Homo-oligomer: A and B are copies of this chain.
Amino acid sequence: MSKRVQPSPLDAFDRKILAILQRDNMTPQRTIGDAVNLSAPAVQRRIKRMREEGVILADVSVVAPEAVGQSITIFVEVEVISETADQIERAKTEFAAAPEIQQCYYVTGEADFILVIVVPSMADYEALTRRLFFGNNNVKRFRTFVAMDRVKVGLGVPLE
């Protein structure tokens, strides 16, 4: 199920390449090569390997939510009643399936799940809570935080 193939260790070249790609994956390999002192084909082979090994999970465009009418970002802390493996698995599956849920994490602490949700309006959010939380009798409680400002949004990982 996992995409990882071999945990082949990353060297300094790989990390530099990753640092560039996670900022802009349309950078020409030639340019990357110049930046890291490697030929374009060498860079390309490393990228290919990292994709195969699952170091690079995906290559995506980041779409501005407001531009497509999804102007509201919401955080939700969800606390469940039963924490049996079965129930947790069920919750994970349900959350993962909802397209409005951009991110879902299973966490320790005072909550069990933290969700990042993107919707066009509060009415849509209200409808979603009805479906997802009130309609799920394993949800004990949930707390909502509405984002006023997306100060920093990304999936970039600290490198080097």
* Identical copies of this chain, number: 2
Question: Which residues of A in the span 46-81 have a Cβ within 8 Å of any Cβ on B?
Answer: 53-65, 67-68, 70, 73, 75, 77
If A102-B155, A109-B146 are given as contacts, then 12 extra A-B residue pairs at C-beta distance below 8 Å, sorted by A number, are: A22-B60, A23-B58, A25-B26, A54-B64, A56-B63, A96-B152, A102-B156, A104-B153, A106-B147, A113-B151, A114-B147, A118-B157
Instruction: Report chain B residues within 8 Å CB of A119.
Output: 158
Which one of B24, B60, B92, B159 lies within 8 Å of A151 (CB-CB)?
B92
For A67, the chain B residues whose CB sits under 8 A away are 4, 7, 10, 53-55
Query: A27 — nearest CB in chain B belongs to which residue?
Result: B59
With A24-B60, A25-B25, A96-B151 given, is the CB distance from A65 to B157 under 8 Å?
yes
Subset of 14 A-B contacts with CB under 8 Å: A53-B67, A54-B64, A58-B61, A59-B59, A60-B62, A68-B157, A96-B152, A99-B156, A102-B154, A105-B147, A107-B145, A111-B145, A119-B158, A155-B155
Residue of B nearest to A150 (CB): B105
Chain B residue contacts of A70, Cβ below 8 A: 157-158
Q: Min CB distance, A82 to chain B, in Å?
A: 17
- Interface residues of A toward B: which range? 35 or more
Q: Are B62 and A155 in contact (CB under 8 A)?
A: yes
A43 sits at the interface (CB 8 A): no
The answer on a CB contact under 8 Å between B145 and A114 is yes
